[in-house]
Structure formats: structure tokens, C-alpha cells
């Protein structure tokens, strides 16, 4: 059974198609990413799957339950919203306790489970502090822990590292990977950070203007763009090209350098060095370029992901978020 199955899900707001007939399946235990710019329909998609927004058309099953079976779906999922949703006037532990009670965890299981998720995100020491004294990263971790308390089959993370500094972001990635492994929970996250999708996700759906334009593993998505490119700085590029002519590489001369196209750049470099040494051609420098998800995104959508300017409302929201964290 798929953890999530989505068939032609659509949502329009006053004639604007926010999500336009998306279909996909997420396997159990998978770490799945929805990658796209702001306004692409990621949050709307997640909100529909979390039963917070009613779809205009289409169906979906979460953990085997139809969306209209609201309570069954809700029991199956945990969610970390894009904007903070903690009670700052309660302590970390109290926030978790509130959640555990709301999800009707039996009293006996409650404390042990709260201790367990606190350990998972390393907040044991801070559990008795008021949440308003937490840093942005700590708040995020607490929210992730909270989403896991009732042992959901699926955990939704909406822009889990938005507004966090790079160090904290990497930190959060580690926690997400760990919980996916230790808790065996299927994770679906949205992000507009390429490196985040690349570093974390087993598979990625690229979503733009409400439609999924590509869906595959990060490696396969990048492979679509073909090859790695090695640029070699050498005194006589033509001479080196002749030596390498027998390899299954595409060779081209450009700007006094030799450009080599190959599917596995990292493995080609040592071979290239050996062949050049044998022919006694001194190589001055080597530069390897691999296609990034950014390139993949541009390939499918025709524009860069950071192209769009944040509109006024989005800017305000980001400001608010900074202030809150």
C-alpha cells in the first residue's frame, strides 16, 4: 500500500488554479519532496492532504484512508506548518503534553513518548523552559517532535527550514533523516531550497504553477540533463584530445581548454590524469561541473526557482516570521 496516493487533485481559489490536477504516489517509509517556488501550490497540496483545505476536484488516500474520512486521516498524520504554531507561554514539555492529550495518548504512554521525542530532537534539557525563550531552530525541532508524538504514519513538513540559518538548517536535515529512519515514518516535505531537496529526499516532485512537471530521484532528475562536464586546462588542448579520442567521452575545445562530457565525471578524472601522464602532457588544472537540481528546474519550467519576487504579503510574512523566531 502506498503511504499517500493522489489522483488528479485540484484546488482553485476564486478562479485561480492553485493546484492543477496533480497525481503521485508516495511509498511507505519514503522521504518525499515537493520542490517549487513560492506560490507553486506546495502548501495547498499539503493542506488538502492534511484535510485542512477541501479539494475542488480529485481524490487522495492517506495511509489508506480517503480524505473525506477526516478523523482517520488526521490520526494518521503529523504536520509541521510553515509558520510557527507553538504556544510560547507554555514550556516545551507542556506543548508536547497538550498535543499528546489532544491525540488521546493513554496517560501511561504519554510521558515515555514525550521523553522519547524530546531525545530524538535533543531538547531534553530545554523541555522545562518557556517556548518563547527558544531559538528558531529549537522551536522547529520542538514542532517536529510534536508532530511525531502520536506515531503518525506520515509526517508533513511544510518548508521545515524556512528562515533558519545555514548551520541550523543542516542540523534540522539530520533530525529529519534520523526520524525517517528511527521512527519509520513516511515524510513528505515541501521546500524551495534546491540543496535541501537534493540532500534529503529519496524522490522529488518538481511543482510549478500548480502542476507536477517532473518526478524522480534527485540522481535521475539530474541525469536527464545528461552529463557531467570536465574542463581541463592544458598547454595544448588539441594534443590531449587526440590522446583521449579512444574514450567514450565527448570532447570539445573551447577558450584554450578541453571540455569533456561524460556520465561519471568523478571517475573520469583519475583516468584522464593517468592517460595524460602516460602521454607526458602536463595538466595545469581540472574543473568538474555536475548538473544541479537548479539546472533541472530551469530545464522543466523555463525559469529559475528564485526568479519570482516575493510580493508584499510574502515579505510581511517573512518579516513577521523573523520577529517571531
Q: Which listed range, 86-94, 119-127, 222-230, 279-287, lies at the site for other proteins (CB under 8 A)?
A: 86-94
| Sign of the CA dihedral with 26 first, then 101, 137, and 174 last | negative
Task: Work out how close the CB of 226 gets to other proteins at its nearest, in angstroms, rounded to a whole number.
Answer: 43
Contacting other proteins (CB under 8 A), which of 8, 57, 68, 102? 102
What region does 151 belong to: left with phi over 0, alpha with psi -120 to 50, or beta? left
Determine if 94 is a binding residue for other proteins (CB under 8 A): yes
> What is the per-residue binding string for other proteins in 41-80, x denoting contact by CB under 8 A?
---------xxx-----------------xxx-xx---x-
Extract the C-alpha cell encoding 50. 492534511
Taking CB under 8 A as the criterion, which residues in 109-148 touch other proteins? 146
**Contact 158/46 with Cβ under 8 angstroms?**
yes
Determine if 257 is a binding residue for other proteins (CB under 8 A): no
| Sign of the CA dihedral with 34 first, then 40, 44, and 45 last | negative
Determine if 190 is a binding residue for other proteins (CB under 8 A): no
Q: Distance (Å, rounded) from C-alpha 184 to C-alpha 80?
A: 17
Q: Distance (Å, rounded) from C-alpha 219 to C-alpha 238?
A: 32
Q: Facing residues of 142 across strands?
A: none
Residues, the chain, total? 325
Tell me, by CB under 8 A, how many residues bind other proteins: 27
Q: Which is nearer to other proteins, 70 or 133 (CB)?
A: 70
Longest dimension (CA), the chain: 77
Q: Which is nearer to other proteins, 157 or 204 (CB)?
A: 157
Q: Which is nearer to other proteins, 170 or 324 (CB)?
A: 324
Q: Which residues bind other proteins (CB under 8 A)?
A: 50-52, 70-72, 74-75, 79, 81, 83-90, 94, 98-99, 101-104, 146, 324
Amino acid at each position: 500500500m502506498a503511504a499517500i496516493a493522489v489522483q488528479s487533485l485540484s484546488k482553485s481559489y476564486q478562479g485561480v488554479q492553485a493546484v492543477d490536477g496533480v497525481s503521485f504516489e508516495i511509498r511507505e517509509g519514503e522521504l518525499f519532496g515537493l520542490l517549487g517556488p513560492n506560490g507553486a501550490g506546495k502548501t495547498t497540496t499539503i493542506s488538502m492532504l492534511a484535510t485542512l483545505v477541501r479539494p475542488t476536484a480529485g481524490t487522495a488516500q492517506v495511509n489508506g484512508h480517503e480524505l473525506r474520512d477526516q478523523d482517520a486521516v488526521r490520526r494518521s498524520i503529523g504536520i509541521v506548518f510553515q509558520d510557527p504554531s507553538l504556544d510560547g507561554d507554555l514550556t516545551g514539555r507542556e506543548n508536547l503534553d497538550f498535543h499528546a492529550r489532544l491525540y488521546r495518548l493513554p496517560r501511561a504512554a504519554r510521558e515515555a513518548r514525550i521523553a522519547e521525542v524530546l531525545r530524538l530532537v535533543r531538547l531534553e534539557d530545554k523541555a522545562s523552559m518557556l517556548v518563547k525563550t527558544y531559538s528558531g531552530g529549537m522551536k522547529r525541532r520542538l514542532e517536529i517532535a510534536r508532530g511525531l508524538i502520536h506515531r503518525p504514519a506520515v509526517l508533513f513538513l511544510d518548508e521545515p527550514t524556512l528562515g533558519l540559518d545555514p548551520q541550523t538548517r543542516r542540523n534540522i536535515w539530520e533530525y529529519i533523516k534520523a526520524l525517517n529512519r528511527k521512527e519509520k515514518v513516511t515524510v513528505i516535505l515541501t521546500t524551495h531550497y534546491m540543496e535541501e531537496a537534493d540532500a534529503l529526499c529519496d524522490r522529488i516532485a518538481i511543482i510549478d504553477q500548480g502542476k507536477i512537471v517532473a518526478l524522480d530521484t534527485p540522481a535521475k532528475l539530474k541525469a536527464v540533463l545528461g552529463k557531467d562536464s570536465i574542463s581541463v586546462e592544458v598547454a595544448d588542448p588539441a594534443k590531449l584530445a587526440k590522446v583521449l579520442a579512444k574514450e567514450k567521452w565527448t570532447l570539445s575545445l573551447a577558450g584554450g581548454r578541453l571540455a569533456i562530457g561524460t556520465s561519471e565525471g568523478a571517475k573520469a578524472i583519475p583516468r584522464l590524469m593517468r592517460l595524460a601522464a602516460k602521454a607526458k602532457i602536463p595538466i595545469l588544472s581540472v574543473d568538474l561541473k555536475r548538473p544541479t537540481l537548479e539546472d533541472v528546474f530551469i530545464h522543466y519550467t523555463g525559469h529559475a526557482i528564485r526568479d519570482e519576487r516575493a510580493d508584499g504579503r510574502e515579505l510581511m510574512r517573512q518579516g513577521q516570521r523573523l520577529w517571531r523566531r
